[in-house]
């Protein structure tokens, strides 16, 4: 097999046939029990609308009640499918910085609802494990999980989401 201009493969003077991804997903294969063809899909049905998330963000603490441990923030996700604004509300549950809360992400395609469990460490770094519980618009029925990792800035008010990673499954 040799390569020619345009990266086409040649085999004895003929162009190699490269089926499209759609053609591969819709092909039929013989059934395992010999009962006729069975439609094949190259990805499990649940993965058809899987979106990997790899984003960054920033925000600020909008309120904090030291007596109750209640905190709220607002922020922005800078890039990707979830680009938009964030609203976060949490309750610190112990002196080690552990918290539980919820986040709403508002994009131009709808909202995403999350439940959060995380920790704010004494050095100002945090890790937040969020479970996607649904949404509106394009995100109606969404599921999945995200991990927010970041740090507070020296002013104690602003923070950076150094990484927002995970997966979101969409019904549409």
Question: What is the total count of domains within the chain?
Answer: 2
| pTM of the predicted structure, to 2 decimals | 0.72
> What would the pLDDT profile of 3-35 be if each residue is shown by its tens digit?
444 444 444 444 444 444 444 444 444 444 444
pLDDT above 70 for 66: yes
pLDDT for the residue numbered 171: 83
Higher per-residue confidence, 87 vs 44: 87
Continuous H helices in the chain: 21-25
Query: What are the phi and psi torsion angles at 149 (to 5°)?
Result: -125, 135
Average pLDDT over residues 125-136: 98
61 and 89 part of one domain: yes
65 and 135 part of one domain: yes
Range(s) of the domain holding residue 12: 2-42
Look up residue 35 and give its two tokens: 């009962």
Higher per-residue confidence, 172 vs 109: 109
């Amino acid at each position: 097999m040799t390569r020619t201009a345009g990266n086409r493969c040649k085999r004895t003077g003929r162009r190699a046939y490269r089926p499209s991804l759609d053609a591969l997903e819709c092909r039929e294969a013989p059934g395992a029990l010999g009962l006729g063809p069975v439609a094949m899909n190259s990805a499990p049905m649940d993965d058809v609308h899987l979106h990997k998330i790899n984003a960054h963000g920033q925000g600020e603490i909008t309120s904090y009640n030291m007596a109750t441990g209640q905190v709220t923030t607002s922020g922005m996700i800078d890039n990707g499918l979830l680009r938009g604004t964030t609203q976060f509300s949490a309750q610190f549950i112990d002196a080690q910085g552990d918290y539980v809360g919820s986040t709403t992400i508002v994009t131009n395609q709808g909202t995403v609802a999350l439940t959060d469990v995380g920790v704010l460490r004494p050095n100002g770094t945090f890790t937040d494990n969020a479970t996607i519980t649904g949404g509106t618009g394009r995100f109606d029925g969404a599921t999945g999980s995200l991990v927010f990792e970041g740090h507070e800035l020296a002013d104690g008010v602003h923070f950076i989401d150094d990484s927002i990673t995970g997966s979101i499954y969409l019904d549409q």
